[in-house]
Amino acid sequence: MEIHFEVNGKACQMDVPPMKRLLDVLREDLHLTGTKEGCGEGECGSCSVILNGEVVNSCLVPACQVEAGTILTVEGLADGGRLSAVQRAFLEHGGAQCGICTPGMLMAATAFLEENVTPDREQIKAAIAGNLCRCTGYTKIIDAIAAAARGRFAAPA
């Protein structure tokens, strides 16, 4: 089927099998390989992208569901060469870990902070509960998200 959507601000139109996974459309057809496949079953969050303002597991979204949708992937976070506040915070606080889980963490954090101006650590933990890391733990990731929230939304001193 022919689908029309927007990815990272660019209009796309393509002919794809209706049940092709959004994850595969992004990686194979659009060469946006920043979005990673971990489990392929909706369990790990590595494939997270923001679809119409909501974080989704792109391994579970069929192409037919993105018709007329707006998608943000990890490639769309930076504005030109300038990293987003969330990306900078991940770098500065050691939240950027392996290449599999980090893109999904960034997308979950970005969507969360759009809706939560002054989150506490429990809210941050809940926001990334769908994103698994089996290696290094979550403390630095939570620190980074908290710092991004402060940086973006704190009232001037």
Applying CB under 6 A, among 5, 20, 27, 57 the residue interacting with ligand FES is 57
Applying CB under 6 A, among 25, 26, 47, 111 the residue interacting with ligand FES is 47
Cα separation, 8 vs 30, whole angstroms: 11
Give yes or no for a contact between 36 and 99, defined as CB atoms under 8 angstroms apart.
yes
Q: Which is nearer to ligand FES, 118 or 139 (CB)?
A: 139
Applying CB under 6 A, among 6, 14, 29, 42 the residue interacting with ligand FES is 42
Tell me if 98 contacts ligand FES by CB under 6 A.
yes
Tell me if 151 contacts ligand FES by CB under 6 A.
no
Cα separation, 35 vs 47, whole angstroms: 5
98's tokens: 């392996």
Using the CB atoms, write b or e for 19-37: b if 16+ within 10 Å.
ebbbbbbbbeebebebbbe
Binding footprint of ligand FES on the chain (CB under 6 A):
37-40, 42-47, 57, 59, 97-98, 100-101, 133-136
